Amino acid sequence: MIHNSPARGASELEWFKSSYSSSGDGNDCVEVAKSPGLVYVRDSKEPEGPQLSFALDA
């Protein structure tokens, strides 16, 4: 499911950069954040852009 903004608001989530999403130039970054019941994923280059959300059991 794609959300333009999570229910809690992107500014309220604590985002972490994935250690697996780094290339030689450092521009390929994925960030994740967890809230009760959901995990969010976004492109770190576009923090206000779309986000994916997944249920914890996914």
Question: In Å, how far from its chain's centre is CA 12?
Answer: 12
Q: What is the pLDDT of residue 47?
A: 84
> Based on the structure, what is the number of domains in the chain?
1
Say which amino acid occupies 25.
D
Question: Could you tell me which of 42, 41, 36 has the C-alpha nearest to residue 56?
Answer: 36
Containing structural domain, residue 18: 2-55
The pLDDT tens digits for 13-36 are: 999 887 766 666 666 688 999 999
Contact 47, 10 (CB under 8 A): yes
- How far is the C-alpha of 39 from the C-alpha of 13, rounded, in Å? 10
Q: Indicate if the pLDDT at residue 40 is higher than 80.
A: yes
- How far is the C-alpha of 13 from the C-alpha of 24, rounded, in Å? 28
Q: State percent of the chain over pLDDT 90.
A: 31
